[in-house]
Structure 1
Amino acid sequence: MDGIKYAVVTDKSLRLVSKNQYTFNVESGSTRTEIKSWVELLFGVKVIAMNSHRLPGKRRRMGHTMHYRRMIITLQPGYSIPSLINLNKKTE
């Protein structure tokens, strides 16, 4: 379960929650099937689609930070992740 770093909370990701899509930053070496099984096991939901893109590492004075992947995960209708829905309601 170390592959999922954290949930992304931005304006776009909060808009996607209304479409039953959730955004997570994950380790760049994780596969799509691993991420799908981790999300289904951790949150008890069914995943129907996953989109991903790699974000570059940021430059620092002494090198750079590691790059990571951002996954947009679409859940089946009727499923949701409650902790992220509560964040969306607070911002409205």
Structure 2
Amino acid sequence: MNQDRLMKVLLAPIVSEKSTMVADKNNQVTFRVMQDATRGEVKAAVELLFKVQVESVQVLNAKGKAKRFGRFDGRRRNVRKAYVSLAPGQEINFAEAR
């Protein structure tokens, strides 16, 4: 896999109540990833950027909700999420990550 491509696969960590609960319970970290990212690319990108061992990756596509902005109809963007299971003893601390 191309190193430049791997640097662009992960867009942002998802920090929410649900992702925090999943992180505590299952030792998983949640990321927003590119729409065409594969499981293998996500695994390689996390291992490259954070220097941790990844056990598995689950990927899902969340459709954007239809919303109204005043009198105008709008739509939130579609999001592709990756739930990354870390090996036992591994941890990602976003405060120290570069």
**Superposed counterparts of 1:65-80, under 5 Å:** 66-80=77-91
User: What is the aligned-residue RMSD (CA, Å)?
Assistant: 1.9
How far apart are 1:59 and its partner, in Å?
A: 4.8
Q: Deviations over 1:35-83 (max 9, x none)?
A: 1100000000111011111012355758755523111110000100012
Q: Are 1:43 and 2:54 counterparts?
A: no
Q: Distance in 1 between matches of 2:76 and 2:18?
A: 24
**Superposed counterparts of 1:20-59, under 5 Å:** 20-59=27-66
Moved over 2 A (4+): 57-68
Deviates more, 1:11-20 or 1:64-73: 64-73
TM-score (norm 1): 0.78
Larger radius of gyration: 2
One-letter identity of the residue aligned with 2:81:
R
TM-score (norm 2): 0.74
Equivalent residue, structure 1, for 2:9? 3
Equivalent residue, structure 1, for 2:21? 15
How far apart are 1:16 and its partner, in Å?
A: 1.6
Unmatched 5+ stretches in structure 1: 85-92
Q: Distance in 2 between matches of 1:34 and 1:49?
A: 12
Q: Percent same amino acid at aligned positions?
A: 33
Q: Distance in 2 between matches of 1:37 and 1:24?
A: 14
